[in-house]
Chain A
Amino acid sequence: METKLLTEFYHLDEFRGLSGYKAKGGYAILAKALKMQPQQIIDEVKASGLRGRGGAGFPTGSKWGFLPKNNEPRYLLCNADEGEPGTFKDRLMMERAPHQLIEGMIISSYAISSKKSYIYIRGEYDFPYECLMQALEEAYKAGYLGKNILGSGFDHDMDVYRGAGAYICGEETGMISSLEGFKGQPKLKPPFPAVQGYLRKPTIVNNVETLAAVIPILRDGAQAYRKFGTEKSAGTKLFSLSGNVVKAGNYEVPLAYPLMDLINKEGGGLKPGRKLKAVIPGGSSAPVLTAEECTKATLDYECLAQMGSMLGSGAVIVIDDSQCMVDLLGVLMHFYHHESCGQCTPCREGTGWLNKITHSILEGRGRLQDIDLLLRVADNMKGRTICALSDAAALPVISFVSKFREEFEFFVREGRSKVKGTTYAEMHH
């Protein structure tokens, strides 16, 4: 059963514009927040247990607490790069409810005493960009942005920055580098962005959904938010359901919602005649779950972590029994090879190597030792790099190969797919 803390009015076209948004209570929470003390808002967000909704799941209130307690100008950056394969929830919000994001950002900026914020949106999201620019213009005209917002004495400016096609810009320091005008290459941590981020100033980077979630938290209170989900995974989340399901789309459900319910109830189940084979629960970087494991999975941070996977961005990719896992691993390896920024050696060379080995197996040139080699290369790419893209490339390899090893061995021995029966060349043409 969907719980629409955020998405209640997304079905109304007029919710996109300012008047339609205000008619449903828009910007009322901003007025309430501006009457509170910034620290009160941070405390409320901390108490709510809200965790970053972009992928890392870091407690938002704690992140805000890392900012230095001085007068240094600080920045709020909204991560709307949404590049994780399978994820398309932020796009929904920016197209259907741009004001919701803007209001959430103004409240959050007020809480962390930031005078300037940017929405970093991926370059391919042209229509969402137009929606945001339109909404910003409306917000400025109505006095929700600019000087002395609603007479509170709080000044704030917001702008949108378009990326140009790089998954790595979804990493917080990669995004900061890109915004600063450089290549989107992640920076060394320490120093952490909260201390030295954008232009060496304290910076908070939060996902679109995280910033918008501040609104229901302040509207109903932290304890009301905690009524959903579990102790460690509080609140609701937008899940992007895609792949071999009948009703793919974005669904807002409470955390700890059973995975199979999302697929069968909201998602309408699999196509007739097909059986579930595997599910990637949190975007392509999350280890895959077998159909058996899915029956025990609930969509919260702890359960999936315990099962060796992760909640990630909440992109649930459903794979049925018509798909060849070796082929799908090839798709993912091509992706990471294409997107590695190239700065540090294990990722730069490792993603290329993994891609080449996988495609050698697909093209019938695989050797039996290549399967273990995949595992060893992936294992040695983890934990040794500047950012987590290297780990994100390694985890699918390890999970696919460990859980579907017979398919790989079949491909090496026979030069064709166990599931599809054909060679790779014959597969998609």
Chain B
Amino acid sequence: MFELSSEGQKAVKKELTRYESKDSAIIPSLYIAQKENKGWVNSEVIKHLSLIMEIPESKITEVFKFYTMFNQKPVGKHHVQVCTNISCAVNGSRELAHHICKELGAKYDQVTKDGRFTVSKVECLGSCGTAPMMQVNDKYYENLTPESAMNILRGMK
């Protein structure tokens, strides 16, 4: 059974009163829970959140499944998200994503065997001027070439 740590529960309680209405705390709480559940959210997490926030599970599930940054499946330690929208696409981002997958031995949206990486193709990340680029967990890595991208990733334990 999933349970937030005491700091996590404190953080959730803070969010419940931070905004004008209680429901606004769902997104921040899902972020907190996702961090503590190794980068993804499942029904146990939602059950726990529903209990401590006193919000129906169906409402939390609706929000959870609506937004792309909440992962419905386990992800690797480093979630590599390569933008493949138009400005990046005309600068070779799809070739870059394919190169990364080949080098890491990864299939899109699956966890590599050593558990380190998940590679995903995502939509515009607002970094079009420094295309092609990728977001690994929270950080942006911009102005990439296939070589520089692999150097960055190989350095990630």
In the complex, what residues of B have CB within 8 A of residue A127's CB? 139-140
Enumerate B22-59 residues with CB–CB distance to A below 8 Å: 22-28, 30-31, 59
Name the B residues within 8 Å of A243 (CB-CB): 86-87, 90-91, 128
Q: How far is the CA of A163 from the CA of B67 in the complex (A)?
A: 8
CB of B20 within 8 Å of the partner chain: yes
Distance in Å: Cβ of B144 to nearest Cβ of chain A: 14
Query: Does any Cβ of B come within 8 Å of A240's Cβ?
Result: yes
* B118 at the A interface (CB under 8 A): no
Q: Residue A421 at the B interface, CB < 8 A?
A: no
Q: B86 contacts which of A88, A199, A317 (Cβ < 8 Å)? A: A317
8 Å CB interface, A143-180 against B: 159, 161-167, 178-180
Interfacial residues of chain A within 41-83, with CB under 8 A of chain B in the complex: 82-83
Q: State whether A180 and B128 are in contact (beta carbons under 8 Å apart), knowing that A85-B123, A428-B98 are contacts in the complex.
A: no
Given known pairs A83-B124, A328-B90, the reply for A164 and B129 (CB within 8 Å) is no
Q: Name the interface residues of B78-114: CB closer than 8 Å to any CB of A.
A: 84-87, 89-91, 94-95, 98
A residues 101-137 in Cβ contact with B at 8 Å: 116, 122-127
Query: From residue A269, how far is it (CB to closest CB) to chain B in Å?
Result: 15
Interface size band for B? 35 or more
User: What residues of A have a CB within 8 angstroms of the CB of B125 in the complex?
Assistant: 124
**Does any Cβ of B come within 8 Å of A186's Cβ?**
no
**B127 on interface, CB distance cutoff 8 Å:** yes
Asked if residues A181 and B89 are in contact (CB atoms below 8 Å), the reply is: no
Using Cβ atoms and an 8 Å threshold, which residues of chain A touch B70? 164-165
Any B CB within 8 A of the CB of A338:
yes
Interface string of A235-248 (1 = CB under 8 A from B): 00000111110001
Contact assessment for A429 and B95 in the assembled complex, using a CB-CB cutoff below 8 Å: yes
- Say how far A297's CB is from chain B's closest CB, in angstroms: 19
Candidates B26, B69, B130; contact of A181 at CB < 8 Å = B26
Q: A242, B124: Cβ atoms under 8 Å?
A: no
The number of chain A residues with a CB under 8 A from chain B is 58
Select one of A85, A123, A181 contacting B128, CB under 8 A: A85
Instruction: Say if the beta carbon of A303 comes within 8 Å of chain B.
Output: no
A218-250 interface bits toward B, Cβ cutoff 8 Å, 1 = contact, 0 = none: 000000000000000000000011111000111
Q: Is B75 an interface residue (CB 8 A)?
A: no
Cα of A164 to Cα of B22 in the assembled complex, Å? 17
Please give, as numbers and ranges, the residues of chain A lying within 8 Å of B18 by CB-CB distance: 159
Residue of A nearest to B97 (CB): A428
Closest A residue by C-beta to B93:
A428
**Interface flag for A284 (CB, 8 Å):** yes
A331 touches B67 (CB 8 A): no
Best-buried of A162, A320, A328, A331 by chain B (most CB within 10 Å): A331
* A161 contacts B24, C-beta separation under 8 Å: yes
A248–B128 touching, CB < 8 Å: yes
Chain A residues within 8 Å of B66, by CB? 166, 183-184, 341
Contact status A122-B68, CB under 8 Å: no
CB pairs A–B below 8 angstroms (11 shown): A85-B87, A88-B129, A91-B126, A199-B21, A241-B129, A317-B86, A328-B86, A331-B84, A331-B86, A335-B123, A338-B123
* Nearest 4 interchain pairs by C-beta: A181-B23, A164-B67, A165-B68, A242-B128
Besides the known contacts A122-B126, A167-B124, 12 further A-B residue pairs in the complex with CB atoms under 8 A apart: A83-B124, A85-B85, A161-B27, A162-B27, A164-B68, A180-B24, A181-B24, A242-B129, A243-B87, A280-B86, A328-B86, A335-B123
